[in-house]
Homo-oligomer: A and B are copies of this chain.
């Protein structure tokens, strides 16, 4: 594996999960692997878990992390081909990516979608430009349409907490005050499709994810029906894909409650808005495994970095 930009860069998800669990037991075992190597973390958008856990993962491998908030610390980056750059962008990605590649052994990038321009977002303009112009391996720390570090984390967490060979996993939409990306839902869906789970998606009409992502996965528009006998309920808001980037429904009845959850485990990528996405009673109970899930962010990132370093 050279880059880790999509869940499809995982060749065998089950062996990756086992390797991540092993790393978690002895996180400092590979301290020499990344010694004197640098991970550049470039943030075009805000981050808490990804920012900290990816640095921690790098440190566990002996690497030196260097963090940069691109817009605040530097300036606007141009992605258009052939642009006459007399506007607000001061450096072209062709130069930026090639240059940063010379200071960092691996580059990790976070760049959210516009949520206004579907074609641009689906082209993964920023991520693919880095992939094209960087000369070193690239890690996706959440792009316009995917968040594969989160999805690997989720797969590890389900594997750790499952009590039957083939658990039922439900991805449920929940209401939110503003338009959110599809990245987490997309990558989670793709990860579940690779695992031996009984997987369904539930969301209100008008909120179906991209058909290219959903594939054969059932979408059930009745949340109650979908949640029946669930072992894991993964909750997330996303904006409309069809009416791209719009909030077409904020129906509070889709909020997850303790009653709806039943005996299932509650998962969420965080940050989560309490009493909007899910009621306090769920998050404050043992049914919630969001903290354990967030802990696995370190080992998912560490596994990805380890595989890249071993392949270098």
Residues of A at under 8 Å CB distance from B? 28, 31, 36, 38, 40, 43, 46-49, 51-53, 55-56, 59-60, 64, 66, 68-69, 72-75, 78, 82-87, 90-92, 94-96, 98-100, 102-104, 177, 270-276, 280, 283-284, 290-291, 294-295, 298
**Contact of B72 with A283 in the complex, beta carbons under 8 Å:** no
**Contact of A99 with B270 in the complex, beta carbons under 8 Å:** yes
A-B contact pairs, 15 of them (CB 8 A): A36-B59, A46-B74, A52-B68, A52-B104, A69-B72, A78-B274, A82-B275, A84-B275, A86-B177, A86-B276, A91-B270, A94-B274, A96-B271, A102-B295, A102-B298
Instruction: Select from chain B the residue with minimum beta-carbon distance to A272.
Output: B95
Interface of A is mostly: mixed
**Contact of A103 with B272 in the complex, beta carbons under 8 Å:** no
A84 to B86, CA, bound (A): 42
Contacts of A273 in B (CB 8 A): 85-86, 90
- Minimum distance in angstroms from A251 CB to a CB of chain B: 13
**Contact of B40 with A36 in the complex, beta carbons under 8 Å:** no
**With A83-B274, A95-B294, A99-B295 given, can you name 5 additional A-B contacts, CB distance below 8 Å?**
A51-B68, A55-B66, A56-B66, A56-B104, A72-B72
**Contact of B274 with A92 in the complex, beta carbons under 8 Å:** yes
**Contact of A96 with B28 in the complex, beta carbons under 8 Å:** no
**Contact of B95 with A291 in the complex, beta carbons under 8 Å:** yes
3 cross-chain pairs, A with B, having the tightest CB-CB distances, nearest first:
A91-B271, A85-B273, A48-B74
Name the residue among A92, A95, A276 with the largest chain B CB count within 10 angstroms: A95
A83 to B99, CA, bound (A): 43
**Contact of A280 with B102 in the complex, beta carbons under 8 Å:** no
Contacts of A72 in B (CB 8 A): 69, 72
Contacts of A74 in B (CB 8 A): 46-48, 51
Contacts of A75 in B (CB 8 A): 46, 48, 271
**Contact of B73 with A47 in the complex, beta carbons under 8 Å:** yes
A60 to B95, CA, bound (A): 23
Contacts of A55 in B (CB 8 A): 66, 103
Instruction: Select from chain B the residue with minimum beta-carbon distance to A250.
Output: B86
Contacts of A103 in B (CB 8 A): 52-53, 55-56, 298
A49 to B273, CA, bound (A): 34
A280 to B274, CA, bound (A): 50
